[in-house]
Amino acid sequence: MTEVFEPVDAADRDLALGATGLLGRFNTAGVLTAADIHVARALGALAGERDDTVLLATALACRVLRAGSVCLDLAAVDRDVAPDLPWPDPDAWRSAVAASPLVAQGVLRWESGLLYLDRYHEQETQILRDLALRAQTSPPHDPDLMARSLARVFDEAGYDEQRAACLQAAREWTTVVIGGPGTGKTTAVAGLLVALHDQFTARGETLRVALVAPTGKAAARLQEALDTARLDPADRSRVEGVEAMTIHRLLQRDPGSSSRFRHHRGNRLPHDLVVVDETSMVSLTLMARLLEAVRTDARLVLVGDPDQLSSVEAGAVLSDVVRGYAERPDSPIVSLTRTHRFGEHIGDLARAVREGDADRALAVLSAGDESVQWLTDARSPQLRALTVDAALALRDAATRGIVDDALVALERHRLLCAHRDGPYGVRFWNRRVEQWLTAETADPLHDHSYPGRPVLVTSNDYTLGVHNGDSGVVVETAEGRRVALPGPDGPRLFAPSRLGDAETMHALTIHKAQGSQAEHVTVLLPDEESRLLTRELFYTAITRAKQVVTVVGEESWIRAAISRRAQRASGLAVRLGATTPERRNLGDTTGD
Ligand SMILES: Nc1ncnc2c1ncn2[C@@H]1O[C@H](COP(=O)(O)OP(=O)(O)OP(=O)(O)O)[C@@H](O)[C@H]1O
C-alpha cells in the first residue's frame, strides 16, 4: 500500500478552479490538492493528453511525493481509503498510462508498474549510473600496510566487524556501513581515517577527508563521537583537524539557485574520502547531488541505520540500496551487528521492534528492568514526575546562570511525540509540562524567555551560525536572559529576540529528534488509529535513548506500531537488484 491517502492538512484542502471530471471529484474529496491538479493539467496540456484517468495518475504521482514516495505504484494504490470515488479499472488504467503521450514524450516515466515524474526517475537513474561507474574500478591500496594499521588501531579482540568495514572501504570506492545505534559505526570510521591516512602518507600524499551528515545536529554528534573515539595519541593526531559538517555545507549552495550546488559533476569535490553519517535521513535528490559531486576516484562511505525513519523529503535511499544489493555478489554493504553501548535491555527492545516481534518487545517492556520502563497510561503520575524533574533540573541550572550545567541538563531527558497536534502531540505536551512546572514553582511562564525554557531552533540563520534543529536553553546571565546553544568551542549565548524561529522543547517530534540522542527518552505513542504510528517511527524513537527508555502507550498501540511498516514507493531497490555488475579491473586491488 502506498501512502497516497495520508489525509491532507486542512490548509491543503483547497479546491482547484474549474476542476471537473475525475480530477474534480478527487479534489473535492480531499485526496488531491489544487497544486497536484495544476501540475497534472499543465503536463497534460504540454503532451496533448486528455484521458482523465492518466491525468488522475499524474496528479497522484505528485501527491505521493509529499508522503515520501518517489513514484506512484499504480497496482498498490489503496482504494479503500476513498472507496466511493470512481476509481479507474486497474487493467484499463495501466494500459492508458503505458500508452500515454506523457510517457512517450518522457514527461512521465513508466517502469515496472511505477509512474514517475521525469525528474525523480532521472535522479534514480543517475544514482544507479554513478554507483555502477564507481564499482568498475577499485582504489589502489597496500593490503599489508592496511593489516598493520588495523592491528594497531583495533588492538583488542572483538573488533572484527569494524576491521571488515575498513578493509571493504580500502578495497572499493563505495562502501555502505550499516548498523543500529552503538554498533561501532563511528569507531569503524575513526579506524578507517587512521588507516587511510597511513596509506596516503606511505605514498607521499595527503588524505583529504570530508565528514558529513544531513543535519547540523547529526554533524555535531559525529564530531563529538570522533573526538572521543578510542585512539592512541599518535593516531589521534592523524584525525585531528577533520571537521564534520552538513552535506549542504560541503556541496555549497549556489547563491543563484535554490536547488543547485557549487559542487557537481562539472566541479567535483577535492576530497579523497567522503564519509556520510546518518545516511537514512538523506533524500533521493540530495543523494543524487552528492554522488555526482564526489570524484569517481574518491572513496565514498555511506554510514547509517536502514531501519530508521527515512528522509523528510522523498526517497528511502539507504534502505533501498541495502535491499537492492542484497542478492548481488558485488555488494558494498558491511553490516555491524553487535551492540556495544546500550544496556542489554534497550538493545533487546530495539531488536524486537526492528524484527517485528511484538511479543518479545512486550516481554522486554514488562520485565521490569530500570533501563526499559513501560507506562500504559499517559495520565500516570510517573510521567508527570519524570517530565517535571527534567524541567526543574533545567530551571535550577538556568536560574543560577550555570550555562554548562544547563546544557548538560538539556541532554538528560527528551519527551518524544509522533504528532505535532492533538492529544499525543508536541504542542499539547509542551503546554502540559509548562502547566505542571508552574504548579510546582509558581513561576509565571507566560513570558517565552523564562529561565530553563528548552528551545528548538526551527530555521537557519547563517549570519548567527544557528541552524534548524539546534537546541538550547534560556539562562539567566549578568547581561540578562540569553539562549545558550552548544557550539564546537563551548556554549554560545544569544539574546532571545535575536533568535528567529524557535519553539519550546519540553516535547519534541520523533522526526525532529532523528540524528540526536538523550540519556533518558520517553516515547509517547499515539493510539493505534494514528496514521504516523509505524515500526520505523517506534524504532527511531527508542534508539534515541542512551541509558533509559520509557514507553507510554497501551499494548494494542505497541502491537500496531510494530506491525505497520512505513512504505515508500521507489524503484531504486528493484533497479539496483536487476543491474549486472560490470568490472574493468576485477581483482586488481593492489598498487596504482
Ligand atoms: N568492537 C567494539 N568492542 C568494544 N567496544 C566498542 C566496539 N566498537 C565500538 N565500541 C564502543 O561502543 C560505543 C559506541 O560506538 P560508536 O560510537 O562507534 O557506535 P555508533 O554505531 O557510531 O553509534 P551511534 O551512531 O548510535 O552513535 C563506543 O563507546 C565505542 O568505544
Burial of 489 (0-12, 13-18, 19+ CB in 10 A): exposed
Nearest CA to ligand 1 atom 8: 184
Tell me what pLDDT residue 467 has: 82
Q: How confident is the model at residue 301 (pLDDT cuts 50, 70, 90)?
A: very high
Neighbours of 348 (CB within 10 A): 21
Q: The domain that contains 434 carries what CATH number?
A: 3.40.50.300
CB 230 less than 6 A from any atom of ligand 1: yes
Per the CB < 8 A criterion, the answer to whether 222 and 244 are in contact is yes
Q: What is the per-residue pLDDT for 18?
A: 67
Same domain, 86 and 48: yes
In ligand 1, the atom with minimum distance to the C-alpha of 305 is: 25
Q: Is 335 in the pocket of ligand 1 (CB under 6 A)?
A: no
Average pLDDT, whole number, for the chain? 89
Task: Among 340, 342, 521, name the best residue to mutate to test ligand 1's pocket (greatest count of ligand atoms within 8 A of Cβ).
Answer: 340
> Quick one: pLDDT at residue 494?
94
128 and 237 both lie in a single domain: yes
Cβ atoms of residues 525 and 538 within 8 Å: yes
Whether 1 contacts 567, CB under 8 Å? yes
Which residue range is the domain that position 514 belongs to?
Answer: 344-563
> Does residue 262 surpass a pLDDT of 90?
yes
Q: 400 and 516 in one domain?
A: yes
Ligand 1 centroid vs 303 CA: distance in angstroms? 13
Note the pLDDT tens digit of each residue in 527-566: 888 888 899 999 999 999 999 999 999 999 999 999 988 8
Same domain? 334 vs 389: no
φ and ψ at 419, to 5 degrees? -105, 165
Indicate if ligand 1 lies below 6 Å from the C-beta of 347: no
Residues at the annotated binding site? 179-186
pLDDT-derived band at 342 (thresholds 50, 70, 90) equals low
Cβ-Cβ contacts under 8 Å for 83 (sequence gap 6 or more): none
CB 328 near ligand 1, within 6 Å: no
Binding residues for ATP: 179-186
d(CA 537, CA 65): 19
Number of domains observed in the structure of the chain: 3
Please give the distance, rounded to the nearest whole angstrom, from the Cα atom of residue 341 to the centre of ligand 1.
6
Radius of gyration of the chain (CA): 25
Ligand 1 neighbourhood includes 152 CB (under 6 angstroms): no
| pLDDT at 11 exceeding the cut of 60 | no
116 part of a folded domain = no
The verdict on ipTM greater than 0.95 is yes
279, 303, 341, 549: residue to mutate for ligand 1 pocket, most atoms within 8 A of CB? 341
Candidates 155, 162, 187: which one to mutate for ligand 1, based on the most atoms within 8 Å of Cβ? 187
- C-alpha 181 – ligand 1 centre gap (Å): 8
164 in ligand 1 pocket by Cβ < 6 Å?
A: no
What is the number of the ligand 1 atom nearest to the C-alpha of 543?
26
Q: 553-577: buried (b, 16+ CB within 10 Å) or exposed (e) per residue?
A: beeebbebbbebebbbbbbbbebbe
Does 31 lie in the same domain as 164?
no
Confidence of residue 12 (pLDDT cuts 50, 70, 90): very low
Nearest-CA residue for atom 1 of ligand 1: 159
- Cα separations in angstroms, 168 against 133, 186, 326, 334, 345: 17, 15, 16, 8, 31
Residue 12 forms part of a structural domain: no
Q: Are residues 289 and 258 in contact, defined by beta-carbon separation less than 8 angstroms?
A: no
188 CA: nearest ligand 1 atom:
18
pLDDT of residue 255: 74
Least confident segment among 343-357, 486-500, 573-587: 573-587
Largest interatomic CA distance in the chain = 73
Residues 309, 385: one domain?
no
Task: Check if the beta carbon of residue 305 is closer than 8 Å to that of residue 281.
Answer: no
Residue 7: the pLDDT is 39
pTM for the predicted model, two decimal places = 0.88
Say if residues 212 and 245 touch (Cβ distance below 8 Å). Answer: yes
Q: What is the pLDDT of residues 438-460, one digit of tens each?
A: 999 988 767 778 999 999 998 88
Q: If you take atom 16 of ligand 1, which residue's CA is the nearest one?
A: 184
Residues 6+ apart with CB under 8 A from 189: 177, 211, 226, 275, 277, 301, 303
The closest of 331, 343, 220 to 277, measured between CA atoms, is: 220
260 and 351 together in one domain? no
Roughly what angle, to the nearest 10 degrees, separates helices 403-410 and 381-399? 160
Domain boundary, last residue among 341, 358, 387: 341
Helix (H, G, I), strand (E, B) or coil at 491: coil
The CA distance from 92 to 37, in Å, is 21
Nearest partner of 218 among 561, 547, 540, 572, judged by Cα: 540
The strand pair at 299-304 and 114-117 is best described as unpaired
